[in-house]
Structure 1
Amino acid sequence: MLAPAMTAIVAAAAEALDLTGDLLTADAAPTDAGVLYLPEPIYHRALTGQVSGIAAITWATITSPRGRSWLICGWAHRDDPDDPHAARIQDYARQDPTLLSRLGPYVLTNLDLLPIARPVPAIAQPDIDEPDRDWESAPDGRYVIADATARTSVCAAIAYAFWRIQAQPISVAAPAPLDRPARRRAARAHVVHDTRVVMLRRTSTLTEPADGHTRWHYRVRFVVRGHWRRLIDKHGRAYRIWIHAHLKGPDDAPLLHGEKVAVLAR
């Protein structure tokens, strides 16, 4: 499980990642198969302009005639009220009332392959004029990675960034606690799990208001690229505005961008 404080760090690392031509060994992943949950989803913008949340990532090693690879899947939460993909599912469900009963809580949205011990292939980007692309709006305050600028497949990049960061000394990994009923259900079902919660070490205590809901807090600064935002006016007509590139995050936070390195110390 990825703690919310680490979401922007992993997302920024994934966006800057370029694995093209690299040879990855099998021990790059902490396990041959695993699941990464993101309580605060990272959002993915496809070349079509549509946005979907990545609320979970799974990986497993597979073997083909070409050799071993990681099969990396991205999953959106079906009932996320902020996810445009979940809203599309609800639209489909209104046309087919049986749809939701046939879906689990997570819906597959991305499927990537990352080769083991073979060069990672480059992504072939289609020739699309950027201003002509109609981008769907993503929830405010959340990190969005676009296929149009990614140098490694988005879900593969997020998984690999998480693998590398969770192995560093800046993180604390601990077994996920299970309450007694959950342990009993797992024992009855003969389920054996190895779940770790990876949290960034804090250098100061984060205080929250005494009332109201916990708000989203950034602990890094990062660059938001220029993009079109789709809006609806008071008459229900759709229109677009151009959002210029800008920095997001606290003024005194370390900047994560491209090849620049920010050192996090205790």
Structure 2
Amino acid sequence: MPADDVHLGESWSLSPDSRRPLPELIEQKLRELIIGKTFKEGDRLPTEPVLADKLDVARSSLRTALQRLQLQGIVEVRRGLGWYVRRSDLAAVDEHLEGKLAARQFSPTDLLETRISLETTAAALAAIRAGDGELDELAKLSRRYQRATVEDTQEVLDSDEEFHLALVRASHNELLVQMYQALVPGLRDCKRHAQPSREVHNRSANDHEQVVWFLRRRDPDGVKSTLATHLLGLYNDLATDVSHDRATLNTFVGHDEPMWQQTERRR
């Protein structure tokens, strides 16, 4: 069908559930349109400006929703062409890892422990592989996070997320990037309910600067240890699954890599 034929007879109103983040409501509506065969497998979706206009939402929220659907294998982006429906059999989506991640079928503890493993490995690779332009971009994103005020929760979340995603991309390992991106929606939901204090924000900003410092010095051990310590703070705040034994990290630089250690079980 023509990409901008948006079926004017269809209902484009979002669910009125104000308790759910806007990208989730957009995702739900796009799912409904695919299930209802407004958009069929292989169809090219309307452009982002057209979709955002029909749904009456910001393009940033629309893009987040499309990325969630992409992680589930429902849509795909083709460079220079736009977004396409990849799969219309949505009943089978949750059988796949991407669907489970996007549907938040893993605990915050599982997500955060996996994130630490993936991101510290990516950071060590970035210390070796990142180009000067990528390091400049990371420094710019670090300053953006530092300038964000704790009262502007959305900017804190966005600038932090962009910094860490850019760090993983600087590893030049596409599989690590794809695996990390699959975690992002669940991680975003974890952090959305944690309002950082000014002290925590300042400490995180300093950690970001330290990460960039070690990257510029091409020090994989230093950046890996610094990042593990940084992420452990989030883990301690947000890991809530009491079925797991409590764990912590030994980030002493003398070790080849940060090592998990068992601590007391959380009550």
TM-score (norm 2): 0.27
TM-score (norm 1): 0.27
Name whichever structure is richer in helix by fraction. Answer: 2
Name whichever structure is richer in strand by fraction. Answer: 1
Greater relative CO, 1 or 2 (CA 8 Å, sep 6+): 1
